[in-house]
Amino acid sequence: MCCHKSKAQLRNGSSKVGCRPCHSRCQPKRTVQQDNIMEKGNTEVVPQHFNNWPNSQGFESWDEQREPIELTVKGVIPSWASGTLYRTGPGGRTIETDKGTTFKLSHWFDGFSQVHRFQIIPQGTPDGVSRVVYNSRHTVDKFVENIRKTGSLNDFSFAQKRDPCQSLFKKFMSYFNSSTDANIGVTVSTNFPGLPPISNDERSNESKPHHASGIQTLTAKTDSARLKRLDPETLEPVGVTDQRCLHPDLSGPFSAAHAKSDPETGDVFNYNLSIGRTSVYRVFHVSAATGETTILATVSDAPAAYLHSLSLTRNFVILCVWNSHYAMGGAKVLWERNILDGISAFDASKPAKWYVIDRHHGQGVVASFESDPFFCFHTINAWEEEAPPAYAEQTEHTDIVVDMSVYENLDVLKRFYYENILSDSPAAAKFVGSKGDSARAQLRRYRLPGIPAPAALPFQAPDLSSSSGHPKQAKIDFTAPRSSSGELPTLNPKYLTRPNRYIYVVTDSGEQSVFMDGLGKYDTLTGELTRWCEHGQNPGEAIFIPAPSGKNEDEDNGVLLSVVLDGHRGKSYLLCLNARDMTELGRAEIDMVVGFGFHGTFF
């Protein structure tokens, strides 16, 4: 294992020593072309893995464990980290069909959905160790069986190409397919407000009628308005609905996979995007207390775009329409029946648009901004700060700070075709090293200055633009170098909507592996990256579990849980790291491959 720190570019633009390499075992030894052509004798060519860092098993896993089993724990997973971790994302991608053909998905975002459940059960004292019980299942059995019988995919997808011969109306209506096996599995939420609990008729025979854990519902989400309900114990699909069940005006087909939740109330915030001659974003709020949904604002002067997430502060929702615009106002998505082919080419002449929306006083959009163009999957955190001296004469104004993981263009969307991320694929060469820099994320902090303070909102008209009549300009506080950045960013959940110092990421050096190659802790104050990596180990998103109150209130006092594939052994494990220094505390070994998933949640 290697755990090291590196000094990155600081906020003022100065820099210190660059990212120090990991242990020599983690370093690339060969090019992709060299690794993929190894002769055995003089006749047979045997595929090899780039840098002897295998990952291909993680993209083709049909393993599942429907009955809960206890895992072998090595080291220590603290008992205070007890709870339930759910993970969701793709499992397999290849189906042998009844037509005698082989059906293969082409993009990672379209992999057949699977959900995993890890129960971390304390033993003895609060400072003791934990047991780990695991179960999993694919959630698209009928969906897969239909492909097996027909040899084709008829549902919408992210990037799979199909025959676009159906009428536009039929395509639109099929987007709201009510099948319980719709391929929905990018994010997962427990106790999503506004949705009914699972009835006894819907509950599987194996599921208990009451959940001692407090988890009553489990909901899978994606970048559409559809929501898939799952049994939180057996993980069996219960049904598919859409956002119209929350509010009848949420009739558009698109939304963010990452709805934002208020860390204190549990209220949920998201947008619904309808397309047509005029595209309309409806930003809405679902009350955890009442289940009622309120539309906070409508935005109709921004282009329809693929927006995977949005931001939330204690008083505002921030909708950023970055530069992943749908062609033809979104109609091309319906025509192509996939999102990627429906997105226009990146246009560097068009600014990103930002909308600040009041949460509490019914004021709608209270400010708008523009910034240089960029693309983003994941917002990280946002909070409010007192306006600087420039706004001293405007005492009732505040700044909003937004952290994101950003890209300079849309190259990353095509990078995630399977052929570009499999360790034994020659095509991955085009993203190795500096050639793939545009498809690697950078951590960035934006500032939206001079927002009307919450106390002033009910008593004055919204200040939508600058005095010139044009949107204000969003400012950049800092951008971290790629060597100190990463994807799938997380933080201590106690700091959501509050200023935070540390961001945890999955690193992608572009040198050690053709995919994710480590876990990192980025210090936004010093620009320092502390990294965990181990040769041939392929980690997923790291979920932060805070230490109990009273132990130590430091922001980084807790543990990280990440599902890791050991590419050499062809087996996965649940890794537990000390979130302070990124050293391993323990692991729970799984006697199978857990596919490379996207996101998880801990309850």
Binding-site residue numbers for Fe cation are 258, 308, 378, 599
Question: Cα–Cα distances in Å, from 265 out to 213, 261, 286, 287, 400?
Answer: 19, 8, 11, 8, 21
Cα 241 to Cα 257: distance, rounded to the nearest angstrom: 15
Question: At residue 160, what is the residue type?
Answer: Q
Question: Cα–Cα distances in Å, from 542 out to 182, 328, 362?
Answer: 27, 38, 36
**Number of other residues whose CB lies within 10 A of the CB of residue 511:** 18
**399 touches 384 (CB < 8 A):** yes
Q: What DSSP string describes 138-159?
A: ES-HHHHHHHHHHSS--S-BSS
Q: Which residues are annotated as a binding site?
A: 258, 308, 378, 599
**340 touches 416 (CB < 8 A):** no
User: DSSP label at 22?
Assistant: -
Contacts for 270-277 with beta carbons within 8 Å, 24 or more apart? 270/243, 270/310, 271/307, 271/310, 271/319, 272/225, 272/243, 273/304, 273/307, 273/330, 275/304, 275/326, 275/329, 275/330, 275/331, 275/333, 275/334, 276/329, 276/330, 277/329
Question: Cα–Cα distances in Å, from 411 out to 324, 407, 417, 442?
Answer: 11, 8, 11, 14
Residue spans of alpha helices (H) in 474-588:
none
Those residues whose C-beta lies under 8 Å from the C-beta of residue 389, and which sit 6 or more positions away, are none
